[in-house]
Amino acid sequence: MDDCLILGIESSCDETAAAVIKNGREVLSNVISSQIDIHTLYGGVVPEIASRKHIERINQVIRQALSDANVTLDDIDAIGVTYGPGLVGALLVGVAEAKAIAFAKNIPLVGVHHIEGHVSANYIQHPELEPPFMCEIISGGHTHLVIVKDYGEFEILGRTRDDAAGEAFDKVARAIGLGYPGGPKIEKKAKEGNPNAIEFPRAHVADAEYDFSFSGLKSAVLNYINKANMTGEAVNEADVAASFQQAVIDVLVDNAIRASKDYKIDKLALAGGVASNGTLRMAFEEACAKNNIKLYCPAPVLCTDNAAMIGAAAYYEFKKGNLAGWDLNAVPNLKLGEK
Ligand code: KG4
Ligand code: ZN
């Protein structure tokens, strides 16, 4: 069979990205233009600015991805683009661009679910990995524990009731004055602190054993800081960062390992921006080794937003014949499992 080349396009948040993927697994190019520097000035992603930056950069990013892969649009078999979930204006830039190229060059178009993309980063990192497996998706907007039953098919076991894990990192980082982006800054600060210094809550949801809840933990951190400020006690930011991070990790590890054992699935994959956290990865490695579970985790650059993962997901949808029509639109609150 001939090789299948997918051009992946991602613009759901603050990364403008394009990649060329061969046969769903091999990265020929992976270009990411990050807007972090601009949004840092405002302490978080400003949707309006994100859209404007995507429109400024997307053509160059795609050109670069094609040239890095040493191919032209004539070599591309399908275009995969994130159409949700995400910021509507940001998504629209990628969707409109993908539709324009597909129309002009008569190339099949595939709409990709951003979360399915995150899961698919594992197919790139681990060419031998095939469904079924357990996957914990821990990003800025989502925290899901799922069984990947087949390519693009998910059984959702647990989800967050309130904040996503990455969102909690971002909010706590802001509260202790570390700024945006919160995850990497907390991880760095936590290295100087003691994870057992402060006893923050590990929330378990009573009636849904695999669900997550991080808003109580976030409030506990804010209360701790407010109380210290009122009584004039010094706050050790490194201890707060380390203790908070440990509380998040404990819950993420516990739910994933428990579900893997309950469902007798011995393959556990991680996905999403929070999975780039080194302390978290070590905790998962230890817990998986103890429980005879094989851990799969994409390299950090494939955990945070990128278009290689979108190209990988698009490949499997393309093979199933799931093509988008010319009416493909951005769906900002697209749910996992919805097409
Ligand atoms: O998957 P992602 O790039 O975008 C979404 O789809 O949401 O995830 C971004 C999230 C942000 O909340 C960011 O703070 C978090 O991932 N993150 C981290 C780390 N790097 C990024 N969280 C903890 N530790 C990190 N090293
Ligand atoms: Zn993402």
Q: How far apart are the C-alpha atoms of 218 and 162, rounded to whole Å?
A: 11
Q: How far is the CA of 14 from the centre of ligand 2 (A)?
A: 10
Q: How far is the CA of 303 from the centre of ligand 1 (A)?
A: 8
In 160-307, DSSP assigns E strands to 267-271, 294-296
Task: Please report the atom of ligand 1 found closest to the CA of residue 276.
Answer: 26
Mind listing the pLDDT tens digit for each residue in 305-325?
Answer: 999 999 999 999 999 999 999
Q: Is the CB of 183 under 6 A from ligand 1?
A: yes
CA-nearest residue, atom 10 of ligand 1: 140
Given pLDDT bands bounded at 50, 70 and 90, which one contains residue 166?
Answer: very high
Mind listing the pLDDT tens digit for each residue in 188-205?
Answer: 999 999 999 999 999 888
pLDDT of 110? 98
Q: How far apart are the C-alpha atoms of 328 and 65, rounded to whole Å?
A: 23
Judge whether residue 206 has pLDDT over 90: no
Q: Is the CB of 180 under 6 A from ligand 1?
A: no
Q: Is the CB of 116 under 6 A from ligand 1?
A: no
Judge whether residue 338 has pLDDT over 90: no
- Mean pLDDT, to the nearest integer, of 114-126? 98
Mean pLDDT of the chain: 96
pLDDT of 148? 98
Residues 131, 141 contacting (CB under 8 angstroms): no
Mind listing the pLDDT tens digit for each residue in 20-79?
Answer: 999 999 999 999 999 999 998 898 899 999 999 999 999 999 999 999 999 999 999 999
Given pLDDT bands bounded at 50, 70 and 90, which one contains residue 184?
Answer: very high
pLDDT of 339? 63
Q: Is the CB of 170 under 6 A from ligand 1?
A: yes
pTM reported for the whole predicted model: 0.97
Residues 339, 112 contacting (CB under 8 angstroms): no
- Mean pLDDT, to the nearest integer, of 105-117? 98
Q: Is the CB of 184 under 6 A from ligand 1?
A: yes
